[in-house]
């Protein structure tokens, strides 16, 4: 069977020839992790050949390389490409060598996995960085173009909502006003995206976290969260926080939407705020952000996050649901981190608990300069 698969690969001259001409080792394994094909550079690197490897699995050949084996399993599970830098790899005819590993799906049917190994040289690192910068710049331009195209129809939606607001009675004006304010917020976010390449800083201001939460819960109750029983447990004595209002709204809308998609009718969504002096994150650090006492707990009683994915919940392109982009929780973690905070998650069937710890406003007025210094260091 493996020879048949190899024949199929060879019959694809473009892909096969390109992979075989690459100067670094390429390995292709099937869905049982058996070797299917290696390029010429891999034969030299491992001092071996496909004839020798035929019938062997990756687990058998790379017995002491748990990092690589875990990457293969995770790539299959998440259907994504993964990379690890400066990993020591050994094989029967190879002494330990430090390499950068990339693992990803080789075909649309998820049948094959491709593994590439590159020695961790300064020249290769510089080349990779240049390629990444080029790709990032292209993505930034595409994103800005899409943001511009989306912003135009939003202006029409806002205008229509404002006209409706004039026609509706007081009992319905609250909903039309919600459409207007949410449209304004999305337009602001799109403007930020358009200026992504300029690395626009956070728009920090003092905000009341309860006002942010109430606004987001109003959106939830008016749209995708109608099936939820929402419980608020707010500590009214909490101080103001210093944050980017629009990003915080996006943060909690993502968390609440995630909860709504994991729950059924009459499941609970519980939001609690507290001053958590005993928080494990309430410790000093070298930048002076010495307390994260403000705690927000978001708890739902839905289906939970699978144990296999829980450890990767905040990584991009990892999703617990079919058709999910896997970007929502990654954005949540990014916003929390940008604000000098910390986020944790625990989950089991019937309960998922997100815990966010944040500094209070008086502790982070220099956050913008601190983040800038971190980036430069």
Three-class secondary structure of residue 38 per DSSP: strand
Asked whether the beta carbons of 339 and 360 are under 8 A apart, the reply is: no
pLDDT tens digit at each of 377 positions of the chain: 434 444 444 444 445 666 777 888 899 999 889 998 898 889 998 888 888 888 888 888 887 677 888 888 888 888 878 888 778 888 888 888 888 888 888 765 667 888 988 875 544 544 544 554 554 455 455 555 556 556 556 766 777 777 777 777 666 677 777 777 777 777 777 666 655 444 567 888 999 999 999 999 988 888 778 899 999 999 999 988 889 998 899 899 889 988 988 898 899 999 999 987 665 555 444 444 446 789 999 999 998 888 878 888 887 666 666 555 566 788 888 889 888 889 999 998 899 999 999 887 644 444 444 444 444 44
Half-sphere exposure of 351 (CA within 13 A, CB side): 5
Backbone φ and ψ for 88, nearest 5 degrees, come out as -80, 125
Residue with tokens 């404002």: 162
What is the model's pTM?
0.51
* Cβ-defined contacts of 192-197 (< 8 Å, 24+): 192/246, 193/143, 193/144, 193/147, 194/144, 194/147, 194/148, 194/151, 195/144, 196/140, 196/143, 196/144, 197/137, 197/140, 197/141, 197/144
Residue among 2, 37, 7 at smallest CA distance from 22: 37
Three-class secondary structure of residue 164 per DSSP: helix
Residue among 282, 302, 301 at smallest CA distance from 291: 282
How many C-beta atoms lie closer than 10 Å to residue 268's C-beta?
15
Helix ranges (DSSP H) in 168-274: 170-194, 209-222, 245-261
- Rounded Cα distance between 140 and 128, Å, is 18
- Rounded Cα distance between 261 and 151, Å, is 26
- Rounded Cα distance between 319 and 325, Å, is 6
């Amino acid at each position: 069977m493996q020879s048949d698969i190899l024949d199929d690969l060879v019959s694809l001259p473009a892909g096969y020839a390109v992979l075989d001409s690459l100067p670094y080792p390429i390995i292709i394994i099937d869905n049982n992790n058996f070797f299917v094909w290696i390029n010429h550079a891999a034969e030299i690197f491992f001092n071996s050949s496909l004839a020798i490897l035929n019938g062997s699995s990756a687990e058998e050949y790379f017995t002491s390389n748990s990092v690589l084996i875990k990457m293969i399993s995770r790539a299959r599970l998440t259907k994504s490409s993964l990379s690890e830098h400066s990993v020591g790899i050994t094989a029967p005819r190879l002494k330990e060598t430090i390499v950068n590993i990339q693992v990803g799906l080789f075909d649309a049917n998820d049948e094959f996995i491709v593994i590439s190994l590159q020695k961790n040289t300064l020249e290769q690192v510089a080349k990779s960085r240049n390629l990444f910068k080029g790709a990032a710049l292209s993505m930034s331009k595409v994103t800005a173009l899409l943001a511009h195209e989306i912003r135009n129809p939003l202006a029409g939606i806002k205008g229509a909502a404002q006209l409706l607001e004039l026609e509706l009675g007081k009992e319905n004006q609250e909903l039309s006003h919600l459409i207007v304010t949410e449209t304004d917020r999305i337009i602001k976010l799109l403007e930020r995206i358009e200026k992504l390449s300029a690395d626009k800083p956070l728009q920090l201001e003092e905000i009341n976290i309860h006002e942010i939460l109430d606004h987001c819960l109003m959106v939830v109750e008016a749209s995708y969260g109608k099936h939820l029983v929402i419980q608020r447990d707010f500590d009214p004595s909490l101080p103001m926080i210093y944050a980017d209002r629009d990003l915080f709204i996006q943060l909690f809308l993502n968390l609440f939407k995630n909860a709504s998609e994991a729950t059924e009718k009459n499941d609970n969504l519980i939001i609690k705020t507290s001053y958590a002096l005993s928080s494990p994150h309430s410790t000093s650090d070298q930048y002076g952000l010495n307390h994260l006492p403000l705690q927000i707990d978001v708890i739902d009683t839905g289906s939970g996050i699978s144990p296999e994915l829980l450890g990767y919940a905040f990584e991009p392109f990892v999703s617990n649901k079919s058709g999910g982009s896997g970007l929502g929780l990654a954005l949540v973690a990014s916003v929390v981190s940008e604000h000098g905070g910390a986020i944790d998650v625990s989950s089991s069937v019937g309960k998922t608990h997100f815990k966010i710890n944040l500094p209070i406003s008086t502790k982070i007025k220099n956050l913008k300069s601190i983040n800038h210094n971190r980036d430069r260091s």
